[in-house]
């Protein structure tokens, strides 16, 4: 991924307070989203606290965090579906609470469960959505045609949405969100439920739309692949912002080598044995062992020697965003086995 002009490249020192890293893009005049001291609670449970960050115009910004991290709450506040308990949030200078109508005019939202009417055709879904934004007539038809072609939905325009596959529905949802030409697009878990080919297709179209229309995109995700695509990502954990930076900077900061082990037998038992015999902490996630080692090759050789019968494979690589999350929070991004 190439460096974005909007991202903060200064690599923070390890002991620095986490939030010092890249909360705001350098050019303050080009801010699309500004969030300050945002807080939300469901009854007594605090879902989001003291969230401050901003997103630059044209940026692809990721919200990464496990379930319960506050990611979805933040997403819903940005989409104006929830009102914050405290703090402010503004889109293109329009406060979400003071002037929701103006903010909504600048906002396209593609929901995780598509907000489509299955009984209506693709075209009808788009038409009635356009009306909600005050769009009609020739201008609306032109925009619809452009989007249907771009999303390769032209041949499906008269088909009822309920008959479409999940991937196609997701594309219709995206076309619908982009119909009123919003400068900001919010995407909630865009690739959940999509097969790899559909995922690639989805991101290809989105990249095209970004370069064509200078779209700012905020994507809430728990997928590493998606987070890696972002210009900057915000890591959220238990309702708090952990860090904001580029994926590269985040990974570089924790540095080191990482070994991924496929166990032949019980992964947890192997992790325990490695801890006992070699004094190395191994985390188990998705049925695999992950351990940090500055001198990865030597450690890999020692592991193979000691546990050759219990290890199917060892992969040596750099840190992933999952490692970053673990290092920053002491918690795993995915609960064991729960990864997509």
Partner 1 sequence: MTVEAGALRLPLVVWSLLAREWLRFLRQRNRIIGALGTPIVFWVVFGSGFGRSFRPPGLAEGMDYLAYFYPGMLLLVLLFTSIFASISIIEDRNTGFLQGVLVAPVPRLAIVLGKVLGGATLGFIQGALLLPLAPLAGIALNFGQVIAICGQMFLIAVTLSSIGFLFAWRTDSVQGFHAVMNLLLFPMWLLSGAFFPASGASIWIQAVMAVNPLAYGLAALRRVMYPPEIVANLGLVGMAPAMIVLAATTAIALALAVLVVRKSEA
Q: How crowded is residue 279: how many other Cβ atoms within 10 Å of its Cβ? A: 7
The CA distances from residue 14 to 52, 58, 78, 237, 332, in Å, are: 21, 29, 31, 19, 19
* Residues between 156 and 185 that touch partner 1 (CB under 8 A): 176, 181
Stretch binding partner 1 (CB under 8 A), from 135-143, 196-204, 306-314, 316-324: 135-143
Residue 89 as a binder of partner 1 (CB under 8 A): the answer is no
Q: How crowded is residue 277: how many other Cβ atoms within 10 Å of its Cβ? A: 12
Rounded distance between C-alpha atoms, residue 163 and residue 338, angstroms? 30
Rounded distance between C-alpha atoms, residue 282 and residue 15, angstroms? 24
Task: Choose which of 3, 42, 83, 269 interacts with partner 1 (CB under 8 A).
Answer: 83
HSE of 33, CA atoms in CB hemisphere, 13 A = 31
Residue 85 as a binder of partner 1 (CB under 8 A): the answer is no
Residue 118 as a binder of partner 1 (CB under 8 A): the answer is yes
Task: Choose which of 74, 111, 151, 307 interacts with partner 1 (CB under 8 A).
Answer: 111
Q: Interface mask (CB under 8 A) for partner 1, residues 44-73, using x and -?
A: ------------------------------
Task: Choose which of 9, 119, 204, 331 interacts with partner 1 (CB under 8 A).
Answer: 119
Residue 80 as a binder of partner 1 (CB under 8 A): the answer is yes
Which long-range contacts link 199-204 to residues 24+ away (Cβ below 8 Å)? Answer: 199/225, 201/167, 201/171, 202/167, 202/170, 202/171, 202/174, 203/229
Stretch binding partner 1 (CB under 8 A), from 129-137, 151-159, 212-220, 225-233: 129-137
The residues facing 331 across adjacent strands are none
Residue 133 as a binder of partner 1 (CB under 8 A): the answer is yes
The residue length of the chain stands at: 340
Chain centre distance of CA 275: 33
The DSSP annotation for 283-325 comes to: EEETTEEEEEETTHHHHHHHHHHHHTTTEEEEEEE---HHHHH
Residue 131 as a binder of partner 1 (CB under 8 A): the answer is yes
Residue 214 as a binder of partner 1 (CB under 8 A): the answer is no
Task: Choose which of 10, 67, 113, 335 interacts with partner 1 (CB under 8 A).
Answer: 113
Residue 116 as a binder of partner 1 (CB under 8 A): the answer is yes
Residue 137 as a binder of partner 1 (CB under 8 A): the answer is yes
Residue 332 as a binder of partner 1 (CB under 8 A): the answer is no
Task: Choose which of 14, 17, 101, 158 interacts with partner 1 (CB under 8 A).
Answer: 101
Taking the complex as a whole, how short is the minimal distance between the CB of residue 70 and partner 1, in angstroms?
19
Rounded distance between C-alpha atoms, residue 120 and residue 179, angstroms? 17
Residue 213 as a binder of partner 1 (CB under 8 A): the answer is no
Residue 202 as a binder of partner 1 (CB under 8 A): the answer is no
Rounded distance between C-alpha atoms, residue 94 and residue 259, angstroms? 47
Question: How many chain residues are in contact with partner 1, going by CB under 8 A?
Answer: 36
Give the residues lining the site for partner 1 (CB under 8 A). Answer: 79-81, 83, 100-102, 104-105, 107, 109, 111, 113-120, 124, 128-129, 131-140, 143, 176, 181
């Amino acid at each position: 991924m190439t460096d974005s002009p909007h991202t903060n490249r200064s690599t923070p020192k390890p002991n620095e307070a986490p939030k010092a890293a890249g909360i705001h893009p350098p050019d303050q005049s080009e801010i699309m989203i500004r969030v300050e001291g945002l807080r939300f609670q469901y009854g007594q449970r605090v879902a989001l606290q003291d969230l401050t960050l901003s997103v630059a115009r044209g940026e692809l910004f990721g919200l990464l965090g496990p379930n319960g991290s506050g990611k979805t709450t933040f997403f819903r506040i940005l989409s104006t579906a929830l009102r914050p308990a405290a703090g402010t949030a503004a889109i293109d200078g329009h406060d979400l609470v003071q002037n929701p109508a103006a903010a909504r005019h600048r906002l396209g939202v593609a929901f995780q469960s598509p907000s489509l009417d299955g009984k209506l055709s693709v075209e009808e879904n788009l038409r009635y959505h356009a009306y909600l934004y005050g769009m009609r007539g020739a201008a609306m038809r032109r925009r619809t045609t452009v989007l249907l072609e771009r999303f390769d939905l032209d041949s499906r325009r008269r088909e009822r949405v309920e008959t479409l596959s999940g991937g196609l529905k997701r594309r219709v949802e995206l076309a619908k969100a982009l119909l009123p030409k919003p400068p900001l697009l919010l995407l909630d878990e865009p690739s959940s439920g999509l097969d790899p080919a559909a995922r690639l297709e989805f991101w290809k179209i989105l990249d095209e739309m970004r370069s064509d229309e200078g779209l700012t995109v905020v994507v809430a995700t728990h997928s590493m692949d998606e987070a890696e695509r972002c210009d900057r990502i915000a890591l959220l954990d238990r309702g708090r912002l952990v860090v904001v930076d580029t994926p590269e900077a985040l990974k570089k900061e924790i540095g080191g080598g990482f070994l991924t082990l496929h166990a032949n037998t019980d992964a947890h038992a192997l992790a325990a044995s490695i801890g006992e015999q070699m004094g190395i902490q191994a985390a188990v996630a998705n049925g695999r062992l992950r351990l940090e080692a500055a001198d990865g090759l030597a450690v890999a050789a020692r592991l193979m020697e000691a546990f050759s019968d219990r290890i199917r494979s060892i992969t040596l690589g750099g840190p992933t965003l999952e490692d970053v999350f673990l290092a920053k929070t002491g918690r795993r991004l995915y609960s064991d086995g729960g990864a997509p």
